[in-house]
Amino acid sequence: MKYYSENLILKLNNYASQLRMDALKMIYERGAGHPGGCLSCAEIISTLYFYYLRINPRNPHWEDRDRFILSKGHASAILYAALARRGFFEIGELQTWGHPNSRLQGHPDRLKTPGVEMTSGTLGQGLSIASGMGLAAKLLNAKWHIYVLMGDGECQGGVVWEGAMMASKYHLSNITVIVDYNDVQLDGACHEIMPLEPFVKKWQSFNFAVIEIDGHNIIEILKAFDLSKEIHDKPTVIIAHTTKGKGVSFMENEAKWHGVAPDEEQYRMAITELKGGTNE
Amino acid sequence: MSKLMSSRIAYGEALVDCGIENNQVVVVVADVSSSVKTDFFEKRFPERFFNVGIAEQCLVNVGVGLSLEGFIPFVNTFAGLLLRSFEQIRTCVGYANTNVKLVGSYAGISDYKDGATHYSICDIAAMRAIPNLTVIVPADAVEVRKFVPKIAEFTGPVYFRISRADTPVIFDDSHQVTIGKGQIIHEGDDLTIIAIGVMVERSIRAAQLLKKEGIKVRVINMPTIKPLDQNLINLAVHETGAMVTAEEHSIVGGLGGAVSEYISQVHPVPIEFVGVYDTFVETGLNHEYLLDHFGMSVEDIIKAAKKVFKRKNEYH
Ligand SMILES: Cc1ncc(C[n+]2csc(CCOP(=O)(O)OP(=O)(O)O)c2C)c(N)n1
């Protein structure tokens, strides 16, 4: 097993926390966006963008890059923050999000934003698109890997499972799906709106290799990505148990923080908390 | 400017009233209940409310199933997301002619924060091309409230299009609506503007400004796009001889398409289109800004009116 230094883990945790603050700042300043689902995937995004993905900010279309699809496109703020921090564009550009003529649209737009692999925003599309890319990689004999980040609510859509069947039929081991399993969607808790359980068994029965982890634990995320690369006969799904709104206590596990921006006071409290302080 | 009112709240409230009136009315939604305001109905009638999760194709077909057994399902999501179920709507709603009420909320570009994936600028074109479907676009919150019970009483599939925005109120409570009928809301005989949705109020403003320049504009509110009120259009064609259509939708295949298809067959006159010029609209800071910058400003209507008026005079 690979050894990961404490420094690396500290770095990736720090990035996660930075991205949380960036995303919240963007959402607060624009008065719009999706805080809950950005905060829940911060460690996954930081591990991908600051360690795992083989990408080149100076050459976003580099042929041999790993592909990342943010299938839960409403988490655009944290993706944009990661792209900026990784050097795809200036951090200052984050302030233009949603403004007239901005390259940063409400949801990811591959034609506008450097580093955005695929346009998204209507849920459910990522895995079937990844299957097409996975087939292409095989035809091309290419070594790059495809990562797809999905929401748990998103998995209620039938097209997800159509894509899953495709990926397993063609043994697309070059695909790793990560499900941000925070058990909250727009209208409430997933287990109430439309239960997904038994979730592990569902993916297993679709012939995926299933890895369950704590999605806020960097070492577990790293190990899961390592493991998925060692599986050569099937696609992998990493079921990442997370907390929606993670890091901001009043947003945690609350559906009402799915898609609204904090006001000034709430924003100040959130940032204090993310910086490690308390609001008492 | 006139008072603003929320169409989605008016819809949510009207749906509750419908539920009180008629216990056959049921509501289905795909994880956007708190957004499209069917949560009011859920609170009042939890046993007649069904959330299918993020599964729009299932959403429509659950409505179809309920309608086959005699219920009157109002099926709800964002207009742009309902397009995912287009084939279900064609086959299981249109072709099978089931009594499903499809409600596309957050329509047009009113969901300004979310951008092109969440806009619906081709939904009218798509829906009106399906046989058996009735297509209704209310002009303000008052019309929303008035149409909901009519739609529940009406037999047959309906597509009802609702804005996310708080929009100017045009009508007072005495306003009457009839499926299949439009009405003249500003008199004039130099040209006619036929408008739907939020563009009705903008067209009235344009007509008032044009009046000052001596151009007398008739404005027609045409909430039912299918079936079209052909008599009213015929009259306008003969009495004014020039048409403008104004809609928060692509100029391809929507109201403009419907009106020009009709008049080109019966009595062609010059026509101009106001709407989104066949492009994807970007994310904005507010709805008004997007309307003003993507071809749907009052100024755009005035320009189209002057152009068509000039063409009419050259014509004769
Ligand atoms: C096809 C589709 N249906 C509905 C929506 C509206 N919507 C945006 S986010 C969301 C909830 C997403 O929940 P989940 O997938 O669990 O994401 P997370 O909790 O990680 O934010 C919904 C219903 C959409 N964008 N696309």
Mutation target among A29, A119, A128, A194 for the B interface, most CBs of B within 10 A:
A194
Residues B291, B198 contacting (CB under 8 angstroms):
yes
Number of domains in chain A: 1
> Is residue B231 domain-resident?
yes
- pLDDT at residue A2, rounded to an integer: 82
Same domain, B24 and B160: yes
Instruction: Confirm whether pTM is higher than 0.80.
Output: yes
Gap between the Cα atoms of A236 and B65, Å rounded: 36
What range does the domain containing B271 cover?
183-315
| CB A182 less than 6 A from any atom of ligand 1 | yes
For ligand 1, atom 25, name the residue with the nearest CA.
A122
Gap between the Cα atoms of A36 and A199, Å rounded: 21
pLDDT in tens, B173-189: 999 999 999 999 999 99
User: Which helix (H) or strand (E) covers residue B240, if one does?
Assistant: helix B230-240
Phi, psi of A136 (to 5 degrees): -60, -45
- pLDDT at residue A73, rounded to an integer: 98
> Is residue A98 domain-resident?
yes
Judging by beta carbons within 10 Å of its beta carbon (0-12, 13-18, 19+), is residue A271 exposed, middle or buried?
Answer: middle
pLDDT in tens, B124-172: 999 999 999 999 999 999 999 999 999 999 999 999 999 999 999 999 9
Cβ neighbours around A59 below 10 Å, total: 10
Same domain, B38 and B127: yes
Residue ranges of chain A with pLDDT lower than 70? Answer: 1, 278-280
Mutation target among B29, B32, B50, B54 for the A interface, most CBs of A within 10 A:
B54
Average pLDDT of every residue of chain B: 97
Catalytic entry in B13, B21, B42, B56? B56
Same domain, B138 and B263: no
> Is residue A86 domain-resident?
yes
Same domain, B34 and B151: yes
Is residue B1 pLDDT above 60, yes or no?
no
- pLDDT at residue A187, rounded to an integer: 98
Q: Give the end of a domain, one of B103, B138, B168.
A: B168
> Is residue B176 domain-resident?
no
Gap between the Cα atoms of A77 and A130, Å rounded: 22
- pLDDT at residue A279, rounded to an integer: 66
pLDDT in tens, B95-132: 999 999 999 999 999 999 999 999 999 999 999 999 99
CATH number at residue A69: 3.40.50.970
Conformation bin of residue B219: beta by default, left when phi > 0, alpha when psi is -120 to 50: beta
Do B113 and A98 count as a contact with CB atoms less than 8 A apart? yes
Cα dist from A159 to A63, A200, B76, whole Å: 28, 18, 19
- pLDDT at residue A1, rounded to an integer: 67
pLDDT in tens, B196-226: 999 999 999 999 999 999 999 999 999 999 9
- pLDDT at residue A277, rounded to an integer: 74
Contacts of residue A62, Cβ cutoff 8 Å, sequence gap at least 6:
A55, A56
| CB A152 less than 6 A from any atom of ligand 1 | yes
Per the annotation, the verdict on B56 as an active-site residue is yes
Same domain, B158 and B192: no
Band of residue B2 on the pLDDT scale cut at 50, 70, 90? confident
> Is residue A280 domain-resident?
no
**Cα–Cα nearest to B285, from A259, A97, A266:** A97
Same domain, B151 and B234: no
What stretches of chain A show up as alpha helix (H) in DSSP? 6-30, 35-39, 42-47, 76-85, 126-140, 158-169, 190-193, 199-205, 218-230, 264-274
Share of chain B above pLDDT 90, in %: 99
